[in-house]
Amino acid sequence: MRLDKTEISLGLVALACVLFGFVSPGWLIFLLTIALAKALVVQGVVMQMRSGLVSFGQGLFYCIGGYTVGMGGQFFGIHDAIAALSLGMLVAIVVAMLLGLLLTRYREIFFAMLSLAFSMILFGILVKSQELGSTDGFNVHDWTLFGWAPEAGAGSQHTVFTITVVSGLIVAVLIHRYTKAGVGVICEAVRENEVRVEYLGLSPRWLLYGNYVAAAAVSALGGGLTALATGHVDPEMAYWTTSGEFVFIALLGGLGHVAAPFIAAIVFSFVRTYAIEFVPHTWQMILGFTLLAVIIFLPKGLWSLVSREKTGERA
């Protein structure tokens, strides 16, 4: 497998992150773990944005990934982190294959609202499920990695951070290849001109369907990692504000590069953390102004700062 420049850069950054994990404080490791896990969900949102669809319900798969990891440990004795994460992705794929049959018939606001509706249906079901802790959710069972149990606290935190970084790297390389591959490019073509795609003998609907299912799997991985990192799942994961946060981060980063959602998620996490710290009653306003500034000054997201720099270098 030949790696291109982007893939090598991603690998080096991932390695640097893992090494950084050994020297950085616990609070920062936790913040980065959650940010990177959410970035995976945002990757799912961005995959769909590239094909012209905005999902306001990606929290559905985030929640499915998280709850599958939680339920796997609590009820089915699946304690291995990789097995639990894989199961979460599998469940999300099955759900996406069913929902996608309906959702990919719709475009624009109809798709956005329907995706939100399914997410809220799951939220409603979870809130009414006493066995799953209702609005409080439940704790994730202690997990292992290929039979090895990391020590509780810092050891566990560092291990899940490393798993998240490695997962993020694998997903980023796959998405990078996907965006340059047939389905990835033609999904962008669907966004630009669905009629032409149809008259090239392709089915826009099935292309979007494949894209939707792949995005669901990636987002469920993010949910599963969040569950491992926080040790807790609750219905809030499927709530509309959570899905809105993923769209927020997607807009913040832009669609220009596979690294953009990771950068945006980290920036978002820091802005929110410090906003809550310094202005606890108006932190939402700070986030609002941040998004407003990005939309006005960087309409193609934070990544446009990097791409502008590159363009400048070439000039």
Partner 1 sequence: MTCILETRSLNKEFGAVIAAKDLNVQINKGEVVGVIGSNGAGKTTFINMVTGYLKPTRGEILFNGRSIMGHSPRAITRAGMARSFQVAQLFPEMTVLDNLIVALAAAESARPSFLSPLRSDARIARAEEILKEFGVENYRDSLVTAVPQGARKLVDIAMALIGNPQMLLLDEPTSGVSMDEKTDLMDTVMNAVRQHGVTVLFVEHDMDVVERYVSRVLAFYSGEIIADGGPAAVLADQQVRDLVTGHRPSTKQGNGVS
Comparing CA positions, the residue from 88, 116, 104, 102 lying closest to residue 218 is 88
Site map 223..252 versus partner 1, x via CB under 8 A: ------------------------------
Closest CA to 99 of 212, 219, 214, 220: 212
Map the footprint of partner 1 across residues 171-190, applying CB under 8 A. 174, 177-178, 180-186, 188-189
249: enclosing H helix or E strand:
helix 240-253
- As measured in angstroms, the least distance from the Cβ of 174 to partner 1 is 7
How far is residue 50's CA from residue 26's CA, in Å, rounded to a whole number?
A: 35
For partner 1, the closer CB: 203 or 282: 203
Per rule CB under 8 A, is residue 154 in the interface with partner 1? no
CB of 226 to partner 1, least distance (A): 26
Helix intervals (H) in 24-58:
26-50
Tokens of 279: 């202005």
> Whole-angstrom Cα distance, residue 13 to residue 34?
17
Angle made by CA atoms 29, 30, 33, in degrees to the nearest 5: 85
Nearer to partner 1, 219 or 243 (CB): 219
Which C-beta is closer to partner 1: that of 173 or that of 233? Answer: 173
Total Cβ atoms within 10 A of residue 20: 14
Question: For partner 1, what does the binding mask look like between residues 7 and 46, x meaning CB under 8 A?
Answer: ----------------------------------------
Minimum distance between the CB of residue 33 and partner 1, rounded to whole angstroms? 28
Nearer to partner 1, 207 or 237 (CB): 207
Q: Name the minimum Å distance from CB 75 to partner 1.
A: 33
Q: In the complex, what is the shortest distance from the CB of residue 106 to partner 1, in angstroms, rounded to a whole number?
A: 18
Nearer to partner 1, 99 or 255 (CB): 255
Smallest distance, partner 1 to C-beta of residue 22, A: 33
Q: Cα–Cα–Cα angle for 170, 176, 179, nearest 5°? A: 135
- From the number of C-beta atoms within 10 Å of its C-beta (0-12, 13-18, 19+), residue 298 rates as middle
Residue 197 beta carbon to partner 1: minimum distance, rounded to whole angstroms: 8
Q: Which is nearer to partner 1, 42 or 190 (CB)?
A: 190
Which of the residues 192 through 211 are near partner 1 (CB under 8 A)?
A: 192-193, 195-203, 207, 210
Adjacent-strand bridge partners of 144: 80
Nearer to partner 1, 128 or 196 (CB): 196
Distance CA 46, CA 154 (A): 32
DSSP-derived letter for residue 193 is: -
Q: Return the CA Rg of the chain.
A: 19
Residues of this chain that bind partner 1 (CB under 8 A): 174, 177-178, 180-186, 188-189, 192-193, 195-203, 207, 210, 214
